[in-house]
Amino acid sequence: MGFRKRSKKNKNKKNPSQQRDPNERGPSYSEIVRENQDFENYYKGQKVCPEEEWDGMLKALRSDLPTGFRITSYPKYEAEALLSLVESVYFKDLMASKDDDAVAKKPFCLPWYPDRLGWQIQLSRNDIRKSEIYSRLHNFLISETEGGNISRQEVVSMIPPILLDVQAHHKVLDMCAAPGSKTAQLIERLHTTSSKEVPDGVVVANDIDNNRCYMLVHQAKRLNSPCTIVTNHDASIMPNFFIENPDKTTSVMKFDRVLCDVPCTGDGTMRKNPDIWTKWNAANGNNLHGVQIRILKRGLEMLAIGGRLVYSTCSLNPIEDEAVIHRLLSEAEDSVRLVDVTSMLPGLKFSHGMTHWLPASKDITFYKNFEEVPEKWHSTVRPVMFPPKPEDISKYNLERCIRILPHLQDTGGFFVAVLEKLKPLPWEAQLKITNDATTNDTEQESSQAPVIEKRRPNKRIKLGFKEDPFVFFKDNEEVWSSISEFYDIKNDDIVPKCLLTRCEVGKKKNIYLCSPFVRQIIANNQKRIKIINSGVKVFVRCDNRSMGCSFRVAQEGLLNIQSIFGEKRILETNKEDFIKILQHNDPNHPLPTTELDPETQKVFERIGIGSIIIKLIDEKLPIHLVGWKGNCSIRAYITVLDSTHYLRILGQDVSKFETNKFKKPETVEDTKTLESNENAEQNDMETETTTS
């Protein structure tokens, strides 16, 4: 995770060549001079790569980052259909080209990403956006990303969630989660490893920044999972979660998997964020070391024995990487071990973790031991930052860490370490557990932690919006009887007890679904943990007098509850009718029922007016959609993005939804589509550049 805070000291500094008219915006990334002598001196001195590779690494860092994306892995049948479409249609011309330049820029499947769902295109975002040749691919990426079916993500940042090896029953904590690309992978994994519509596990996604939590909510909502909770806390002093035991007592919940993608200097992202060249200095990594170790230690405290934690940064700096891991292993003694996970990443080119490095002061003076450090640097260069003694190197297995350098396979820079908890940490017995929070080693770190770090959690909560409560359905919930009768719903272990609203009084507007385990977590922790969001929308108020029920089904949550509906409100269709309905989701131009197949019309006649579920009879693509049945018409009650997506994977022409910005729009609709695509891309770029 990059630490994207702009310092007041440097915000107005520019090279003479970058001076602009005061009425214009600041220098664009293309105008930034990608040079920093301190950066070069520091990493040459650290020997982060062999000397003969240094020029190649520097050249890679100065070039634009290729485009990476991954296909959302569930539902599996949609992922497979989209993958086939990507390879056979959108990459067809690129793959078949014999032009030397085009051959060098061909897209390729990431060999280490599961099920061929991760890809890299040897073109920067600017190349794709500015070239008419790639306009169709550009439209496709924008549309499917906005719909949640594809995520554009730097390829190296896809690695930590893979190494966590999440299973359907796991309790997963993402400690510094915003903006949410890795969180999305964790949620996907929870679902793809489950045989149930609603997995037993949970993903808790946390971030210290209240505003970034809402960015995180947006990312998580694209996946429509009832197994996700978004919280707003300082990860270094994250409070415990309590759960109820079978004997009605409560205990602290431990997580099976923890992701610590910690705040860092982010110099591994220089290819994507060139402004780091102008701000980089050696003190930045030293200053973040204390924050990083506190988050890591708190993550291990919240981890169950036998559980796995992944520590990652997008920094090349050993002070933020191996020094943090070495310090943790030294203090944790034999309660934690580094795991060799290289077999989980077939085909990935990487360097092993460093076993020797040299802490340095801001003036790029290196020190072999703390005794050499001048007193004026004692607050930033500390004894715990030095490498293990030569005779102790083998004890820590630091070579099991993974360093990904930009020149090895044309990526960003990244660091990953995987830890397994073998037994309670030496200091865990001394922790005092209260109903409000769990104290950790903050007192031990007080000499290096700025006062603001200790005050920040309370300050953030006070400044953040007051969240609406989570109100679960009662046993005799008034609205539920009419909903269950209208849709012929059979109650099960999840519905209706796991339905909730966000209002205590007044009319219920939206009804959400969460998993039974998420329900328990919220019920036991809502008053002591700041929960920003949870649940997926399944019903929406729709006061239509003709319908006979006050709530329509929401497309967002249909995948999680489609099996609970009886035949009363389900319209089964063949592929031809299904496509016709998708092409008529405009409420002003629904599909006349006379255009449906006669057999479909018979089924249609027995269903009353209102919200329905439209089911495609197809073994390979058993798609379910929310629809609306009128007196003599029908339409899909979904967004244009969703209808475009389904038409794509069903092999239909969607060119009317794709406007070539290199050609003048011919109609008002073309102009609106172009503006919509540009806005979607801008939102995606802002999300991605906030942090890796």
DSSP secondary structure letter of residue 563: G
- Residues in Cβ contact with 149 at an 8 Å cutoff, skipping those fewer than 6 apart: 71, 72, 78, 82, 645
Three-class DSSP category at 656: helix
Q: What angle do CA 96, 97, 101 make, to 5 degrees?
A: 145
Q: What are phi and psi of 69, to 5 degrees?
A: -155, 160
Strand ranges in 601-654 using DSSP code E only, listed in sequence order: 610-616, 624-629, 633-636
Q: How many CA atoms lie within 13 A of 436 on its CB side?
A: 3
Per annotation, catalytic residue among 314, 401, 498, 549: 314
Q: What is the pTM of this model?
A: 0.88
Tell me which residue of 407, 314, 161, 234 sits closest to 691, measured CA to CA: 314
CA atoms of 598 and 35, how far apart (whole Å): 70
Neighbours of 148 (CB within 10 A): 18
Spans of the chain below 70 pLDDT: 1-30, 93, 96-104, 131-133, 429-465, 659-692
Q: How far is CA 123 from the centre of its chain?
A: 23
Classify strands 536-541 and 551-553 as parallel, antiparallel or unpaired.
antiparallel
CA atoms of 632 and 644, how far apart (whole Å): 24
CA atoms of 607 and 591, how far apart (whole Å): 16
pLDDT value of position 658 = 76
pLDDT value of position 478 = 86
- Residues in Cβ contact with 365 at an 8 Å cutoff, skipping those fewer than 6 apart: none
Is the CB of residue 124 less than 8 Å from the CB of residue 618? no
The torsion region of residue 224 among left (phi > 0), alpha (psi -120 to 50) and beta comes to: left
Classify strands 336-338 and 150-152 as parallel, antiparallel or unpaired.
unpaired
Helix axes 210-221, 668-690, angle to 10 degrees: 120
CA atoms of 362 and 320, how far apart (whole Å): 15
Catalytic status, residue 314: yes
Classify strands 303-313 and 255-261 as parallel, antiparallel or unpaired.
parallel
> In the chain, what is the greatest distance between 2 CA atoms, to the nearest angstrom?
88
Cross-strand bridge partners of residue 541 = 551
